[in-house]
Amino acid sequence: MAPLAKSMKPSELAVSIVFDEMATKKHLDYNKALDKIDGLTSKGKVANQAMVLMARGVASKWKQAIGYFLAKSTLSPEDTATVLSLAVRKLREIGFHIISVVCDQASSNMKTLKMLGASLDITDTRHEAHCIAVDGRKIPIIFDVPHLIKCVRNNVKKHGLKVSYVLYSRL
């Protein structure tokens, strides 16, 4: 168990892994301490996207970025699946209990989750249909609520909302 995990209460070891991508400005900097150029992808291209992973306490208020990955466009679902699986393994190794994985419903995220064993079919009522599997252990998926609300708002703006209702009166 890692020193940080040893100093935490058992309830503080329950975490969600949150991951999301964001656009970044194309920018290169020389990192003098590491003698390298920051802002390039692993393939040497100028990055304009970053995928960030964060561990977040479930029963306690703490969060910690655990990794970021630069990409020319979006990180591939295969690479995201690899990174997510590695994050789960590493957090388990140091004593954390992964309670859930949280992300938005971007098409690349959906492909990643399917690659890790989730069916994501809303008619599939099996518990494990909405879980990923890493080393044979199931982890439930939670879609990011603010993104879900934003999707509803965008669809209402685009397609409108028709509501029919019946007025009831007491007799």
How much is the pTM?
0.78
**Residue numbers of the chain with a pLDDT score lower than 70:** 1-4, 166-171
Locus of tokens 């304009």: 48
Q: How do residues 40-77 score in pLDDT, each as one tens digit?
A: 777 777 777 888 999 999 998 999 999 988 888 888 89
The count of other CB atoms within 10 Å of the CB of residue 3 is 7
Give the model's pLDDT for residue 171: 57
Question: What pLDDT, on the 0 to 100 scale, is given for residue 23?
Answer: 80
DSSP class per residue in 71-132: ESSSPPHHHHHHHHHHHHHHHHHTT-EEEEEEE---HHHHHHHHHTT----TT---GGGGEE
Token output for 167: 């007025």
pLDDT score at 167: 67
- Strands 14-23 and 63-71 come out as unpaired
pLDDT of residue 58: 93
Residue given tokens 């970044």 in the structure block: 24
Query: Which residue ranges make up each domain of the chain?
Result: 3-159
φ, ψ for residue 76, nearest 5 deg: -65, 150
Reported as type and span, the H/E element at residue 67 is: strand 63-71
Cα separations in angstroms, 99 against 14, 117, 132, 137, 138: 6, 17, 11, 11, 9
